[in-house]
Amino acid sequence: MQVQFSKMHGLGNDFMVIDNVTQNVYFSTEKIQQLADRNFGIGFDQLLMVEPPYDPEEDFHYRIFNADGSEVSQCGNGARCFARFVKSKGLINRSKIRVSTKSGKMTLYLEKDGQVTVNMGRPEFEPSKIPLKANKHEKTYVIRADDHTLFCGAVSMGNPHCVLEVDNVDTADVHTIGPLLERHDRFPEGVNVGFMQILSADHIRLRVFERGSGETLACGSGACAAVAIGQIQGKLGKDVRVDLPGGSLRIRWQGADSTLKMTGPAEHIYDGQLTL
């Protein structure tokens, strides 16, 4: 069986994207892990599967799988690449695209300058909906992990995120603290771990140790989470530039119950064919 795919990235967060509207592909968890391997497979942070809509109100449904094969419910950089993919493959001829994922619905906008804006929905701070074991919402939670006492904000952008503020992302202990929190028992479904350095109210640097994939060059939902948490903590404004190792995103959030918007690039690298 021949499977057509595209390799894409959003600021170096890279994806294998499969059109499962005109194809009918299924991969086991083990196959996804093998394909994600950067030596023995294609190599990617996440696999994105484009499907017909589950709901007539939507244009598409899209499924997201981490490199470890786990299926998750949100991928911000992936949403931008998804929009570029469906337009370039002629699966849609509009620039406004409505898509659903496991976590809900999003609207994507292909901008004239080549950037993509994603309405990521409303940040969710209620602990049970992140999910996080806590009696009530706090702007900053205290989490003990091994001999560390960690202070982090927590939010769901459709997937769980915790964010720690650090003095300098370059010296942050991402590869010790990230794995400690990723599977901490306070986060029943695991968590993506952001390390945020605040330069000003409208400019931060960020590194993210992702659930199921490890540190990536960029994490769109992680950038959204950092701005939402920073704003709730009174440290960030409503229109923030987020510098990640792979590049910059623009995040806008008016606060309270409004939806959050992310704008950034989506790049096509190559089209490939897989023989199964």
Ligand X SMILES: N[C@H](CCC[C@H](N)C(=O)O)C(=O)O
Confirm or deny that 144 is annotated as ligand binding: no
- Alpha carbon distance 4, 8 (integer Å): 13
* Residue among 51, 43, 64 nearest 20 (CA): 51
Q: Kindly tell me which of 213 and 231 has the beta carbon lying closer to ligand X.
A: 213
> Is position 221 annotated in a ligand binding site?
yes
Q: How far is the CB of 216 from ligand X (least distance, A)?
A: 6
13 is in an annotated binding site: yes
Active site residue 75: yes
Catalytic residue among 75, 81, 152, 162: 75
Strands 46-51 and 13-19: parallel
Least separation, in Å, of the C-beta of 213 and ligand X?
5
Cα separation, 89 vs 59, whole angstroms: 14
Residue that has been written with the tokens 């996440």 in this structure:
46
CB of 32 to ligand X, least distance (A): 13
Comparing CB distances to ligand X, the nearer of 22 and 269 is 269
Nearer to ligand X, 2 or 222 (CB): 222
Residues that bind ligand X (CB under 6 A): 13, 45-46, 66, 72, 74-78, 159, 192, 210-213, 216, 219-222
Q: Which is nearer to ligand X, 232 or 266 (CB)?
A: 266
Task: Please check if 168 is assigned to a binding site.
Answer: no
Can 219 be counted among the known catalytic residues?
yes
**Could you list the active site residues?**
75, 219
Annotated binding site for substrate: 13, 46, 66, 76-77, 159, 192, 210-211, 220-221
Binding residues: 13, 46, 66, 76-77, 159, 192, 210-211, 220-221
